[in-house]
Structure 1
Amino acid sequence: MAYWLMKSEPDEVSIDDVMATSSIPWFGVRNYQARNFMRDAMQIGDGVLFYHSSCPAPGIAGLAEVVSTAYPDHTQFDSSSHYFDPKATPENPRWMMVDVKGVRKTRLLSLAELRAVPSLSSMRVLQKGSRLSITPVTADEWQQILQLLDQPSP
């Protein structure tokens, strides 16, 4: 089992949106490294830290699980979509997505709170200049974050 941190802007897809449905497609990823994580490494059952980004209070807002293998992102073929890619074709898709199911909404574990934990300093999301929407999380980081989520907000 692997673990991932997946970022979403809450006005596009929030943890509440994910919890309100049986699963949601993780569409719109347009970074090759993030795409490769979904296509080559993500497996059904992998754990996900659902992270709200580009908002007034960024941070981990819930836990989710990968519930599908990667498949072509349909938005790349839709010329009316913000995520349209004119170079992508159904025969040769460039972008992939997986489906994610909400496990539970958590208290917001803020970016500041994450940064305050020395043992989490190597997490990719905390690295200067890190903008990837999907990053791997180690088993130790996952366990530490679960422990933090069980504590009250500071």
Structure 2
Amino acid sequence: MISISVQREDFDVGEEYQRLKADCRTVGGIALFTGLVRDITGNPLTSLQLEHYPGMTEKSLQATAEEALQRWPVADIRIVHRIGELKPGDQIVLVAVSGEHRAAVFSACEFIMDILKTSAPFWKKEVYRDGEGHWVEAKTSDQQRARRWQQD
């Protein structure tokens, strides 16, 4: 089962975990990744503004989750991504994968995050204390991580 949410409100990692845990008695493991807004710019970050195209974004996340289901024997995938204005330390994304074996859930979770970071139609603008801001592009290291899945 795949569940996708693109939302302004925060999410509760514990609730998401319990939902995945309750869904299937054959699950042997759940991998969770929670991304946070961080300030590593050198110019103090006041906020990160995330925009998306409704419909297109969910479709992209759904396709990525479906590909993960084709690659690995996992039971459930849950992706939550926030939009709007976020502050440093706020939760921005959750990827949770459940399955029978840890190797599959770890790989699927990592794959989803790598593809999400480079291909999902989100636009991020960092806004700094001095009033300046700029749009953030995928880092070279993120693009390299995503490309390695094309070789598998």
Q: So what's the TM-score if we normalise by structure 1?
A: 0.27
Q: So what's the TM-score if we normalise by structure 2?
A: 0.27
Query: Could you say which structure has the higher helix fraction?
Result: 2
